[in-house]
Each structure stands twice: as structure tokens, then as C-alpha cells.
Amino acid sequence: MGLSDNKQPGTDLARRRFGSAAVLGAVAVFALAAAGLSIIAPNLGPFSAPPSKAAVEVPLKIVATTSMLADAARAIGGERVEVRALMGPGVDPHAYRQTRTDIARLVKSDLAIWNGLYLEAQMEDFFKDLAKHKTVFAAAEIVDRAKLLGHEDYDGRLDPHVWMDPDLWTQAVAGVRDQLIALDPAGEEIYRRNGQRYLEQISAVAKYARTVLETVPAGNRVLLTAHDAFRYFGRAYGFEVIGIQGISTESEAGLNRIKVLVDMLVERKISAIFIESSVADRNIRALIEGAASRGHKVVVGGELFSDAMGLPGTYEGTYIGMIDHNATVITRSLGGATKKRGMSGKLAVTG
Ligand SMILES: [Zn+2]
């Protein structure tokens, strides 16, 4: 069974996914139910308990959009949480639209976590509505604004790919921890302890990435990928980053863009470019063919995890494994030195 089995044809997805009218309907039904409860409560008579905010039941039901956010909630929440990620391996968050099942899960959740900063562009309106009724947390939006990057193609918006710089991502992760504490104060000690451990693991992988990426010769520090997901990574580790498509996968790369990039590959003698697990690789193939027709050999340096992690249950299916994989593959493909199996020997062989 190949990876492609996980990807359903677009038409099937389109049929299964709901438009915004249906979303509003689902939220409205929830709102009515909530309103109904508050109408019924006062009729219970003078001897009923005063209306109070019910304690949340453990395990907390948490729904996160991306797998990176779900990983943080799982690691910090431990046995006190039940976490579901809406977007699995290979899923592109820029294009993802909530399914009927997603809506039902989100409406029943104790906490919904999304990245925000317009990453989940197709779910923006839905989350804004949901926030009127449920606890909704946009984790990347609490990151220090002064550290966020803008983008020339992306009018007035900030780059949402904050997880690509692990040191910056710790702010979003600490935000997830604080949300859990606020929702379930009885678990505070556990959340703080697990959070501390997870943040230490993130610091360790950030340190590993810095150490190995520094071994890439200065002239090779160009990271060309399918879309602009690696700008925070590039800033953190001193790489020039070029995305064939812009910051969102919604825009198509034109023929002219491909030609300009082929010229650049040839002129700068760049020998490896990278595919992404959540973006189709046709543009990367076009660049390789274009360079070959000019007598310059370019290879695929490997597959990177940009907007989604690897398969659940594997090391690459964790945030730490994702960053370890990316740093290791980039280092090895661009002429730096590190072990094939990465920071702690847990990676599947990276070539
Ligand atoms: Zn992206």
C-alpha cells in the first residue's frame, strides 16, 4: 500500500467537505443547544444549584488542526487529554476544508487549537464563528509579533510557518500548556512538568539542527523547495530560502517563475532541491528537467516535512522527529556532515 492511498481524489473530497453555509448551520445548531440549556436552567426552581461553570471532565477532548499542534497537546496533556489532529500526513493546511465529521468533533471539543495567521485559509470563517461558542486557541498568533515575518506576495499578512524555527515555536507550545492549565487547573502540575520536558526536547533538536547545518559549506546554503514554508528555518539557521510557489500553496507557479529558477540553478550551480510531503512535486520535476536541458544536473535532495509531519506512530510523525529529519536531510544533501539516522539514531535512513 503506497502513500498515495492516503490521498483521496479531489472530487471525492469536495463531496465530503462542507461549504461555509453548512458550517454556519452547524455552529448555529450548537448555539441553539447552548441557549436552550441556559433557558432551562432557571426553571429548575429555587432549590437547584446555582448555575456555575461545570468542571471539565478528564480526559479533555482536544481537536487540533495540524499534526504539529496535536503533538504539543499530546505531549503536554499526557493521560489527561484525548487529542485528534484534523490534518494527517501529506495534507496541505492552506487548502484543507473541514469535513462534516470535523465539525461534529470541534463542536463537541473542550478546546480547539489552530495555527492561525491564515495558515488554515479555508477554515478561517469557520474558526471565527466557532470561537463565539467554544474555547478556541490560535497558537501561532501569540508568538511575539516582532519576530514574525511578513511576505511581499501576501498582502498585509504574516508568514504562518512558525513551527519551522523550533526556538520560536516554543512560544506557541507554552501557549498550548497555558490553555490546558486554564481549562483544567487540577492538572496544572502535570501540564507544567510535561511541558518542561517537551520544551527541553525542542531546545535539544534546535541545538542539533544548528550544529549540523553549520557544517553545510557557505556556498551551498540555498534551500529551494516547493513552497515558501522554510523562511523561519532559513532565518534561524542562515539559509537562503526559495519557494517555487509563494507562502501559500493556493497560488500557481507560472512558467516564467520556473524559467527564472532554472536560470538561477544553472548560474549558481545549485545541485540539490527538495520536495515537500504536503505539496505536489511537479514544479520540482520541471526545474530538474529544465536544468538538465541546460546541461546542469540537479537532484532531489530528499523529501522534507513542511506543513505536515510523517506517519503517526513513527519518529518522523512527531514534531521532534520532523525537525530532526529536515535538518539531517538538508545537511546531508547540501554537503554538510551528520549521521544518516540523525540526532539520536531514530530516523529512518535518510540516504
Ligand atoms: Zn505552507
Domains along the chain? 3-208 (3.40.50.1980), 213-333 (3.40.50.1980)
Peptide bond into 9 cis (omega under 30): no
pLDDT of residue 339: 93
Integer Cα distance of 118 and 154 in angstroms: 10
Torsion 174-178-184-187 (CA) sign: positive
Contact (Cβ atoms closer than 8 angstroms) between residue 151 and residue 247: yes
Each residue's pLDDT, cut to its tens digit, for the chain (351 residues) gives 333 333 333 333 333 344 444 444 555 445 444 433 333 333 333 343 433 455 789 999 999 999 999 999 999 999 999 999 999 999 999 999 999 999 999 999 999 999 999 999 999 999 999 999 999 999 999 999 999 999 766 678 899 999 999 999 999 999 999 999 999 999 999 999 999 999 999 999 999 999 999 999 999 999 999 989 999 999 999 999 999 988 777 777 788 899 999 999 999 999 999 999 999 899 999 999 999 999 999 999 999 999 999 999 999 999 999 999 999 999 999 999 999 999 999 999 766
Ligand 1 center to residue 276 CA distance, Å? Answer: 10
CA-CA-CA-CA torsion sign (349, 202, 182, 67):
negative
- Terminal Cα distance for the chain, rounded: 22
In order of 53, 58, 166, 270, 296, the CA distances from 222 in angstroms are 53, 47, 20, 8, 16
Q: Cα(16) to centroid of ligand 1, in Å?
A: 23
Cα→Cα distances 145→58, 118, 150, 306, Å: 34, 15, 10, 22
Cα-to-centroid distance, 229 and ligand 1 (Å) = 5
**Residue 59: closest CA among 126, 121, 110:** 110
* C-alpha 278 to ligand 1 mean position (Å): 8
Expressed in angstroms and rounded, the spacing between residue 139 Cα and the centre of ligand 1 is 16
Per-residue confidence (pLDDT) for residue 38, from 0 to 100: 35
Query: 262: CA distance to ligand 1 center in Å?
Result: 22
User: Cα separation of 165 and 203, whole Å?
Assistant: 11
Expressed in angstroms and rounded, the spacing between residue 253 Cα and the centre of ligand 1 is 14
Assess contact for 240 and 222: CB atoms under 8 A.
Answer: yes
Q: What is the DSSP string of 172-204?
A: HHHHHHHHHHHH-GGGHHHHHHHHHHHHHHHHH
Q: What spacing in Å lies between the alpha carbon of 284 and ligand 1's midpoint?
A: 16
Prediction pTM value:
0.85
Please name the residues in contact with 190: beta carbons below 8 A apart, sequence gap of 6 or more.
78, 80
**What is the distance in A from the centroid of ligand 1 to the CA of 189?**
35
| Distance in Å, CA 202 to ligand 1 centroid | 21
Q: How far is the CA of 39 from the centre of ligand 1 (A)?
A: 44
Q: What distance in angstroms lies between residue 42's CA and the mean position of ligand 1's atoms?
A: 48
119 CA → ligand 1 middle, Å = 7
Compute, in angstroms, the gap from residue 157 CA to the centroid of ligand 1: 13
pLDDT score recorded for residue 293 = 97
- Quote the CA–CA distance of 318 and 203 in Å, as a whole number: 15
Measure 234 CA to ligand 1 centroid, in angstroms.
14
The rounded Å distance from CA 24 to ligand 1 centre is 26
* pLDDT value, residue 160: 96
Query: Could you tell me the distance, in angstroms and rounded to a whole number, from the CA of residue 93 to the centre of ligand 1?
Result: 7
pLDDT at site 250: 76
Strand residue runs (E) in the chain: 60-64, 81-85, 111-114, 136-138, 222-227, 240-245, 272-276, 299-304
Distance 43 CA to ligand 1 centre (A): 51
Question: Ligand 1 center to residue 45 CA distance, Å?
Answer: 54
Our measurement of the distance from residue 322's CA atom to the centroid of its chain's CA atoms, rounded to an integer in Å, reads 11
